[in-house]
Structure 1
Amino acid sequence: MPQEIGLLTDLQTLSRFVIGTRAGSGISELKELNNIHGELLISNLHLVKNVEEAAKANLTGKRFIQRMDLLWRSSLEVGPKSHGTYVQHEVLARLRPHTNLKELSINGYGASAFPTWIGDAAFSNLVTLRISSCKCESLPPLGGLPHLRNLYISRMDHVKSVDCSFCGTDLIRFPSLEKLHFENMPNLQAWHGDDDNCSMPSLRELVFKDCVDLRQLRHNLTSLTKQTIEGSPLFIGLRKFESLKHLEVKVESEWIWDSWPCLASLFSLKLSCLPTRKMPSGLSRIHTSIQHLEISHFYQLLSLPDDCLPRGLTYFSISHCPHICGLPTGIQLLKALEDLNIQDCKNITYLPELENLTSLVRLEISGCQSLSVLPSLPTTLQFLSINDCPKLSQNCKDERNPDRVKITRIFSVWIDKQHVVSSSFESHNI
């Protein structure tokens, strides 16, 4: 940073302030810069050794700043001895911003607890809060922030559980919160919620990503419509969320099958990386509401039972399942299916006949090197794409092959990224 930047009292744009060790480069240079608009990132806060110097920064007086990022060097790397945790706490206590703030990010803070202004209901304009790589053992009470809509918590290695102290003590807690993400929390094991006093009435999206020790989610979230769980192999299963419509599970574990009866209201389901060898039978009878289903990276999957696909599917995708040999004949019962995608299933040798799928308009097949024959196709099909399927591609281009006839009436056909004109099989590159 330029030395003595604090003399530029009319400065309106300062997106980043890097604290240095030279004279004229400390955080107190911000004292008179009260006309800064927009966003301000303050880095190297671990260099602030004088609490009063932090107070001189006068962040409370900067009413035009809408987004603020406060960055210490990661406490996970530095450790408590490099800079006293008490000092860090007192520094952050004096870096309270103006209540006009809409977005706040705190990264690398090394003390064991947050100052009381974090979560103060006076921050009525705060919409987005990010807390990352901090050394605290518990989360601050944030439920009193009246207009907080997006909350992202990541790399909090010392947090082992979340309970309702996180929700605060207000009568209505997290009244506006819509998105809540927990990511890269290696020691987080459980969220013990209070269904009566902390309902999170507006929460729509909940994400747990790379929380490898997560086991339990005990909270009734009545408004939840979308949930993602990625990288939590020890999780014991989902509870029933009446409003849940979209679920994504990416985990090397099979707990999802035990949770299957709790997911009756789903519209969309994405499953990835499960070690399943054979999907359970009878799944189609439970989940008639599912319309969008994606199965990917099931590296041990050998087969799909005939009755595993929900009858109401409009979209079905299966990809990166190298050992599966074919699709179930039950797919012929999916009268509502509009879009079918088969990708990187190198051992698939056959597909069931599809001519009775009277809603199918789009079919994409790629990376299926063992597949050589197209099934019968419905007259409704409008788009066909075949890529990296050398046997099948050759047959579809051969005028003497029956597969050529199957695609002549399709409006748009693409083979190996070339658009094939069905009448004469003229082609051109994309």
Structure 2
Amino acid sequence: MALSLVPGIGQLSQLQELESFSAGKKNGFLINELKNMQELSGKICISNIHVIKNKHEAENANMILKKHLEVVVLKGRNVSKEVLEGLQPHSNLQELVIEGYGDTTLPTWMLHAHIFTKLHSLHVVNCGLLSVLPPFGKFPSLRQLTLDSLPSVKHADGTSFGFLGSLENFRVSSMTSWIDWSHAEDDHGLLLPQVTRFELHNCPSLKEVPYLPFMSSLSELDISVCGDFVKALPQYGQLLERLKKLSMSYCDHPVLLSEHQLKSLESLYLRNCGGLRLIDGLLSFPNLREVDVLGCPDILNEFLDRSSEQDDQGVPHLTSLRTDVSLLHGHCFLPSVRALRISFLVALQFTTEQEGWFEQLVSIEKLEFDFCSSLQRLPSTLSRLTSLKVLQT
């Protein structure tokens, strides 16, 4: 039984750990049960906060006095602004999650970001009416920012995404009405200088994007259904040169990228990117170690055709490959591949010659066949792969 379901739990005033509390409407389960628990530490998730009547009732929880709490999660459905105003946490807070908020602007204590000197992670999730974002750049220690399912946000500018000097991980998802991302540069033209990972998903309306070299430390980029953002990628020269991992899904805009732009790339993940073209193909990327590509037959066919021309050299740097294009035609040589995953080949069968193809996988440790519905037997030559440790179908 969850402790929050125990009536009158507020009598345990010396309680130090309470990971979850579900606010109720009856005596013994009201939010004021938390009032005297000043020793709570670690993490607490307070759910069902939409049942709290007003700011005064919310203030009875005395969240602002709980200086030992490091992580606070505030969850509900269409939570009113006055209720969230009354749940202001202590300034010692390190991580905050707001989920299910129901107003156009966040509470005023979010505008006083400078008092939260220790806050390093902030997640604003599933707030359907929220249209104005707070000045995230005023949180001095913020390292992780997640904005997810905010369908009413249309504009984000330098006020919201101003200089975020400490931010390392930035995720934006399902801001479906987001149109423009404008910015005002600081003296050095760097707004997010420490961001190493940026994710942008399901933002189909995005038309205006900033010049992204302001993410001067970016090493991982993960994008899908991102409006015109993908069209701007070729312009981001210095940013792309530092990328080590690129993930793209459902990006149909015509985009042409080259080895020169992605010279540090080590990992490539693609899903249904029909408009993407790689100048000189995958073989031209000198540091590429992992390739996971589905729904992009042109890119993979070119890769396989060119790799078969490498004779005994093959693709010496590649260690992991997933594909939905048959590898068994031609003489594709993959001597360094340690993990191979063959997916979605409905008509996959093996001739004697094709069974022999597997013998050249001299480094293979993991081999998978998934969603290959016609596969009735595995190649007999697999028994000769002495390095193989994992075989899955």
So what's the TM-score if we normalise by structure 2? 0.79
Alignment of 1:22-421 (within 5 A): 22-73=26-77, 75=78, 88-118=80-110, 120-134=113-127, 135-167=129-161, 173-196=163-186, 199-218=191-210, 219=212, 220-232=214-226, 234-235=228-229, 236-238=231-233, 239-240=236-237, 241=239, 242-257=241-256, 262-275=261-274, 279=277, 282-283=280-281, 288-298=285-295, 301=298, 304-305=301-302, 329-332=308-311, 334=314, 336-339=316-319, 341=321, 343-345=323-325, 350-352=329-331, 354=333, 360=336, 362=338, 364=340, 366=342, 369-372=348-351, 373=353, 374-375=356-357, 381=363, 385=367, 393-394=378-379, 396=381, 410-412=385-387
1:12 and 1:37 in contact (8 A); partners too: yes
Letter in 1 for 2:270: L
**Structure-2 separation of matches of 1:264 and 1:153:** 30
1:186 partner SS: coil
1:267 and 1:290 in contact (8 A); partners too: yes
Letter in 1 for 2:381: C
Larger radius of gyration: 1
**Structure-2 separation of matches of 1:114 and 1:270:** 36
* Percent of aligned pairs sharing the same letter: 25
1:240-297 alpha-carbon deviations (Å, 9 max, x no partner): 3153222111114144326886444433322211235x95553469x54441352422
2:203 and 2:227 in contact (8 A); partners too: no
CA distance 1:55–1:123, shift in 2 (3 Å): same
Q: Which moved more, 1:231-240 or 1:259-268?
A: 259-268
Number of equivalenced pairs: 368
1:5 to 3, 9, 21: 9
CA distance 1:174–1:156, shift in 2 (3 Å): same
1:15 to 16, 19, 30: 19
1:105-130 alpha-carbon deviations (Å, 9 max, x no partner): 11111111112322512211112111
**Structure-1 separation of matches of 2:37 and 2:20:** 13
**Structure-1 separation of matches of 2:242 and 2:140:** 23
**Structure-2 separation of matches of 1:246 and 1:299:** 18
C-alpha displacement at 1:26, in angstroms? 2.3
**Structure-2 separation of matches of 1:35 and 1:118:** 24
Letter in 2 for 1:412: S
Letter in 1 for 2:40: I
CA distance 1:36–1:416, shift in 2 (3 Å): closer
1:309-367 alpha-carbon deviations (Å, 9 max, x no partner): 8xxxxxxxxxxxxxxxx77534546453353635443x56513153xx6x636474646
**Structure-1 separation of matches of 2:375 and 2:306:** 20
1:393 and 1:415 in contact (8 A); partners too: no
**Structure 2 unaligned regions, length at least 5:** none
Which residue does the alignment assign to 1:313?
none
So what's the TM-score if we normalise by structure 1? 0.73
2:114 and 2:139 in contact (8 A); partners too: yes
C-alpha displacement at 1:160, in angstroms? 1.6
2:321 and 2:337 in contact (8 A); partners too: no
2:258 and 2:278 in contact (8 A); partners too: no
CA distance 1:384–1:37, shift in 2 (3 Å): closer
RMSD over aligned Cα atoms: 3.5
CA distance 1:328–1:44, shift in 2 (3 Å): same
Which structure has more helix as a fraction of its residues?
2
CA distance 1:370–1:139, shift in 2 (3 Å): same
**Structure-1 separation of matches of 2:119 and 2:13:** 26
